[in-house]
Structure formats: C-alpha cells, structure tokens
C-alpha cells in the first residue's frame, strides 16, 4: 500500500460525458502527478501540481483538466469523452516539487471505460 488513494476504482460512462477522478496523496506529500495508461500508448505523464499550483504539463488533452485543492487532494476532470479515452488513470504523489531524486508513489488507479 503506497498511501495514495484514488476513487473510484472503476468508472463506466458514455461518449460525450464528463467524469471526475479523485486522488488523495500520501500524508505530507505536496506534489500530485497524473498519468494515463492505455493499451497502445503505455504509461504517459499528463500533469503535475505542487501545493495547489500547476507545475508541469505533459500530453494532456484540452478536454482534460486538473486541480489541486487546499487539502492537497487532486481531481482530474475529463470531458467530452471519446472511446479512446478508455484507460487506466494513475495518480502519484511525492513530498517535493520534483527533480532527479524525487520519488513518486503511485495509487491503485481508476479504470475508465467509455462506451
């Protein structure tokens, strides 16, 4: 158990819909990272927040957005969903803003299925 929690575990929805994925970091961690894992793309970095501020951006679609709240939990919002958005979404947390020795600990993930 990494200490990172994610809800829900599974989500099934229809194309065009909007969903929100939630992540609670390990106690004391200030950074939250979001990753997407699809069958054809592997694990890809989406976005990082540090202490409420966006810190780094990866291959995140404009239809996706994220935020980190004062209690440090984070939400990833996915809108206008397409079939290709079906994937595992992982959240990770670390205790610093990042860097070469910043170890990220991953949550169990949310499996999103878009029908």
Partner 1 sequence: DAKTTQPPSMDCAEGRAANLPCNHSTISGNEYVYWYRQIHSQGPQYIIHGLKNNETNEMASLIITEDRKSSTLILPHATLRDTAVYYCIVRVARGNKLVFGAGTILRVKS
> Distance between CA 91 and CA 109 in Å, rounded?
7
For β-strands 10-13 and 110-114, DSSP reports them as: parallel
Cα 15 to Cα 4: distance, rounded to the nearest angstrom: 29
- Tokens for 71? 């209690």
Q: From the CB of 66, what's the least distance to partner 1, in Å? A: 14
Q: Which is nearer to partner 1, 18 or 106 (CB)?
A: 106
Beta carbon nearer to partner 1, 19 or 109: 109
In the complex, the smallest distance separating the C-beta of residue 42 from partner 1, rounded to whole angstroms, is: 6
Site for partner 1, rule CB under 8 A: 2, 4, 31, 33, 35, 42-45, 48, 55-56, 58, 88, 90, 92, 97-109, 111
* Residue 64 or 90 having the CB closest to partner 1: 90
- Report how far residue 2's alpha carbon sits from residue 66's, in angstroms, rounded to the nearest whole number: 22
């Amino acid at each position: 158990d990494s200490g990172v929690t994610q809800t829900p575990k599974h989500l099934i929805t229809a194309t065009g819909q909007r969903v929100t994925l939630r992540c609670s970091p390990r106690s004391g961690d200030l950074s939250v990272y979001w990753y997407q894992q699809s069958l054809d793309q592997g694990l890809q970095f989406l976005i990082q927040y540090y202490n409420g501020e966006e810190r780094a951006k990866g291959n995140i679609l404009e239809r996706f957005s994220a935020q980190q709240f004062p209690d440090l939990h984070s939400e990833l919002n996915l809108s206008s969903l397409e079939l290709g958005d079906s994937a595992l979404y992982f959240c990770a947390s670390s205790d610093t803003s990042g860097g070469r020795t910043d170890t990220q600990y991953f949550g169990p993930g949310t499996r999103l299925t878009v029908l």
